Structure 1
Amino acid sequence: MATVQDCREALEKLAERLAANAAAARKRLDLDRTLACRLSDLGVAFHGRLTGGQLLDIQEGDDKSAKIALTTTSDDLVALVRGELDFARALGARRVSISASPFDLLKLRKLL
C-alpha cells in the first residue's frame, strides 16, 4: 500500500506535468473547478483546483463541496500517475470512480 506521502508526491508530479503542458491542456480542458481526490484505503483525501489546464493549491483534507471528486486506492493513484494503470480501464473496472456533473465528465474525457 502506498503511503500518504507517496500519494502527495504523485499528485504533485501530476500537477507538474499539467503545468508543463498548460497551454495544450487549456485548449482541451477549460474548466475552473474544485477537485477532491479521496483515497479509500488510507481514509485520506486531498483537494485542489483544476483551472487553466493546471492542478493548483493541492492540500491534504477533503473538500465535501468539490465539483469533481475522484475516489481510488493509494496504489491505484500512484500507478495512474506513473502511467502503469490505464485510466479508462481502471474506470471500467471500478478501481476509480469520478463524481462530477455530466458536462464536466464530457470535458474530462478529453484528457483520456
Structure 2
Amino acid sequence: MASVDECRQALHDLAARMERNAETVRDKIDLDRTLACRITDLDAAFHGRITGGRLVDLADGDDPKAKIVLSSSSDDLLALVRGELDVTKAVAARRVSIKANPFDLMKLRKLL
C-alpha cells in the first residue's frame, strides 16, 4: 500500500506532465471542471481543477461538489500515473471508478 505522501507526489507529477502537454491539448479539449481524487484504502482525498489541459490548485481533502470524481486504491493511483495501468482496463475491472457526466468522460479520454 502506498502512502498519502506518495499519492500526493503522484498527483503533482501528473500535474507537471499535463502542464508540459497543455499547449497541444488546450486547443483540442475545452474542459474546466473540479476534480476529486479519493484514495479508498487510505481514507484520504485530494482535489483540484482541470482547466486548459492542466491540473491546477491541487490540495489535500475531498471536494464533495466536484464534477469529476476518481476513486482508486493508492497502489492503483500510482500505477495509473506511472502509465503501468491502463485506465480503460482499470475501470472495466472496477479497480478505478470515474464519476462524471458522459460528455466530460469523452473529453477526459482525450487527456488520458
TM-score over 0.5 for the pair: yes
Scaled by the length of structure 1, what TM-score is found? Answer: 0.96
Scaled by the length of structure 2, what TM-score is found? Answer: 0.96
Please identify, of 51-60 and 98-107, the stretch whose mean Cα deviation from structure 2 is larger. 98-107
Matches of residues 18-37 of structure 1 in structure 2 within 5 Å? 18-37=18-37
Q: How many residues align?
A: 112
Matches of residues 49-88 of structure 1 in structure 2 within 5 Å? 49-88=49-88
Shift of 1:26: 1.4
Please identify, of 89-98 and 25-34, the stretch whose mean Cα deviation from structure 2 is larger. 25-34
Contact 2:53 2:111 (C-alpha < 8 Å) held by counterparts: no
Paired AA for residue 59 in structure 2: Q
Paired AA for residue 43 in structure 1: D
Structure 2 distance, partners of 1:97, 1:90, is: 8
Contact 2:18 2:54 (C-alpha < 8 Å) held by counterparts: yes
Contact 2:35 2:69 (C-alpha < 8 Å) held by counterparts: yes
Q: Deviations over 1:25-65 (max 9, x none)?
A: 21332201000000000000000000000000100000000
| Percent of pairs with identical residues | 63
CA-atom RMSD in angstroms:
0.9
Contact 1:44 1:61 (C-alpha < 8 Å) held by counterparts: yes
Contact 1:28 1:111 (C-alpha < 8 Å) held by counterparts: no
Contact 2:37 2:45 (C-alpha < 8 Å) held by counterparts: yes
Q: Which residue of 2 aligns with 1:40?
A: 40
Where 1:94 maps in the other structure, the secondary structure is: coil
Shift of 1:89: 0.8
Query: Which stretches of structure 1, 4 residues or more, deviate above 2 A after TM superposition?
Result: none
Shift of 1:24: 1.3
1:100 aligns with 2:97: no
